[in-house]
Homo-oligomer: A and B are copies of this chain.
Amino acid sequence: MNYKERLAGIRSQMKEQGISAYIIPSADPHISEYLPDRYKCIYFASGFTGSAGTLVITADFAGLWTDARYFVQAEEQLAGSGFELVKLKVQQAPEYIQWLAERLPNGAVVAYDAKLISVGLAQLLEQSLAPLGITFATDRDYLDPIWQNRPALPTAPAFLVGKEITGKSTTSKLADLRAELKKFRAEYHLISSLDDMAWLFNMRGSDVKCNPVVLSFALISQEKAFLFIDVSKLNEEEKNQLHQAGVELKPYEAVERYLSELPEKASIFIDPKRNCYAMYKLLPATVRVIQETNPTTYSKAIKNEVEVENTRQTMVKDGIALTRFFKWLEENVASGGITEMSVADKVRGFREELEGFVGESFDTIAGYKAHGALPHYKATPESDVELKADGLFLLDSGGQYRTGTTDITRVVSLGNLTDDEKTDYTLVLKGMIDGATARFPKGTRGYQIDAITRKPLWDYARNYGHGTGHGVGFFLNVHEGPHVFNPTPTPVDIELGMITSVEPGIYRPERYGIRIENLVLTVKDEANEFGEFYTFEHLTVALIDTAPVKKELLEQRQIEWLNNYNQMVVDRVGPHLTADELAWLKEKAKAI
């Protein structure tokens, strides 16, 4: 079946059942960002492979609502599918709801599969559309009947991670969680989010590409902790460890029964953003539901001293790999034969040499010249191009190590840069420096750091259509909440111990793209009569190319920062390099 046929198959079921609109979000029953193959529903229906989007199908229109990171990619991938791109003005905003409100008549029925819709989204749909006389059919899966050879759920093994890595035992994490639940007067707590459970149970796996998580659900109360998981993923020793922490293992599917059998007057804490509506619907009607962000989401965002020290060491390893890669690239690009795809392999190869490396933290983005202008570009055999000793090359890559997660973007000059390229590179660097060196009062949120990062670009009438930064997990998801650095008014404070990326960019479609990204750790700064101030410690340890810098655009403090930073890279990565590698690095790190 091709995409048009699949779309027709969906529409015929809709017509049969009197459905005016069908919504397919990018989600699984865990409301994950990156999905197991079985739940790549949007890809199945439309051919779009981006990590964020929503399909909405009516009798006469089929659209993909997605954000600026994916506009170019979506136009290409949707061609001939029957779906059209609808450009979101605001990343992740459910703008299709307003679109439906303006078109659907009183009495229309909107359908979706409650396993893919978060509790919060189901409530928003209800609040927005029910007043207009619209009703919902929430248990409709129109894909399964037409999905031949649908992939099964992943079965990769899981394993437990020790306290020398995580810094805190499951017993201790459960005790803290239970204390939080008590404050909310919640007797039970359902967790569907895979990274929250990986953190809580100090458990990792490979059920989702690049995210070392394990398909599971958890139901916690003051006395009991149930982990619903394919128990064959764990060995006996690990099952014992969990039992000793008071965790009872039950089959993955059993969570549905446990939810539907909760006592009548029970109270249960559920994060509306990270649990699917299907789970919510299983609860007895008399159960009181407390809807708040998972306490584990806040706890795991604040890295403890063990995690921080492990991360610092992991960053040095990553720096070694990147140093070797960029040296290799510079020395070999002129000989020919290096393409974007081969670069991605080469970078992975250098990381694989390092102890503790597990796999990539996301698909490497290797963009030569114009391809750098596509923020989430992934080279394919069709798009792959050869790198030459000319122009800009952008590399956004990262690793999962046993001792931390990395994510770093560098842009290097391969030769012959234009004046525009240098101006834009320098402006992006100014933004990154200002964001990553900010001093700010306790209580500051990501939207404030985002504005400070953008200002150097706005001053020159430039901007970028993605956020400034995302939280990063510890040997966990490379994108982790609850905090985020973007213009969206997310009311989450930046706390000590949080790890975040700072990655501004300037993209000129069909010409070049620039993004410079460091990960930073929130640390204490001074405290005085005006309050407690925080700042950032740089975690990423990798050279920032000075060749594209236009010194006259930098302020003195920014020039000093750049020189000190590159010298710091030499100091920390140097001891691990060969004499030849070190000489190369020192030359590149020379002060401007």
Binds B, one of A298-306, A345-353, A528-536: A528-536
Complex interface: chain B residues within 8 A of A466 (CB) = none
- B450 and A448 contact, CB distance less than 8 A: yes
Which residues of chain B come closer than 8 Å to A463, judged between CB atoms?
441, 530-531
A418-439 contact mask (Cβ, 8 Å, vs B): 1 or 0: 0000000000000000100011
Within 8 Å by CB of A438, from B458, B487, B508, lies B458
What chain B residues lie within 8 Å of A461 (beta carbons)?
Answer: 439, 525-526, 528, 530, 533
Contacts of A72 in B (CB 8 A): none
- The answer, yes or no, to whether A163 is at the interface (CB within 8 Å) is no
Mark contacts of A483-524 with chain B using CB atoms, 8 A cut-off: 1 yes-contact digit, 0 otherwise.
Answer: 000010111000000000000000010000000000000000
Interface membership of chain A positions 116-128, coded 1 if the CB is closer than 8 angstroms to chain B and 0 otherwise: 0000000000000
A559 CB, nearest partner CB in chain B, Å: 15
Q: Say yes or no for A452: interface residue by CB 8 A criterion.
A: yes
Residue of B nearest to A528 (CB): B461
Question: Who on chain B is nearest to A506 by CB?
Answer: B530
Interface positions, chain A 434-465, Cβ under 8 Å from B, are: 434, 438-441, 443-445, 447-452, 454-455, 458-459, 461-463
- Assembled-state Cα–Cα distance A254/B441 (Å): 50
**Residues of chain B lying within 8 A (CB to CB) of residue A89:** 443
Q: Is A577 an interface residue (CB 8 A)?
A: no
A429 to B531, CA, bound (A): 21
Residues of B within 8 A of A156 (CB): none
Count this chain's copies in the assembly.
2
Instruction: List the B residue with the shortest CB-CB distance to A509.
Output: B529
Decide if B440 touches A533 in the complex (CB within 8 Å).
Answer: no
Check A185 for interface membership: any CB of B closer than 8 A: yes
CB distance from A246 to the nearest CB of B (A): 28
What number of A residues sit within 8 Å (CB to CB) of B? Answer: 40
Instruction: Say yes or no: is A378 at the interface (Cβ < 8 Å to chain B).
Output: no
Are B458 and A439 neighbours in the complex by a CB distance under 8 Å?
Answer: yes
Are A489 and B489 also in contact (CB < 8 A) when A441-B458, A448-B450, A458-B441 are?
yes
Give A455 to B447 CA distance when docked, in angstroms. 13
Contacts of A439 in B (CB 8 A): 458-459, 461
Residue A572 lies at the interface, judged by CB distance under 8 Å to chain B: no
Q: Name the residue among A454, A463, A555 with the largest chain B CB count within 10 angstroms.
A: A463
Does B451 contact A448, Cβ atoms closer than 8 Å?
Answer: yes
Q: Is A381 an interface residue (CB 8 A)?
A: no
- What residues of B have a CB within 8 angstroms of the CB of A491 in the complex? 489
Chain B nearest CB from A78 CB (Å) reads 23
What is the chain B residue whose CB lies nearest that of A489?
B489
Interface presence of A132 (CB below 8 A): yes
Contact between B443 and A455 (Cβ–Cβ < 8 Å)? Answer: no
Determine the chain B residues whose CB is within 8 A of the CB of A455 once the complex forms. Answer: 434, 438, 452, 455
| Max chain B Cβ within 10 angstroms of own Cβ: one of A450, A462, A525 | A462
Bound-state Cα–Cα, A455 to B437, Å: 11
Chain B residues with CB under 8 A of A336: none
Given contacts A131-B290, A489-B491, A555-B555, 7 further A-B contacts (CB under 8 A): A132-B185, A438-B455, A444-B487, A448-B448, A455-B455, A461-B528, A462-B530
16 cross-chain CB contacts under 8 A: A131-B288, A131-B290, A132-B185, A438-B458, A439-B458, A439-B459, A448-B448, A448-B450, A450-B451, A452-B452, A455-B455, A461-B525, A461-B526, A463-B530, A489-B489, A489-B490
Residues of A within 8 A of B (CB): 89, 131-132, 185, 288, 290, 434, 438-441, 443-445, 447-452, 454-455, 458-459, 461-463, 487, 489-491, 508, 525-526, 528-531, 533, 555
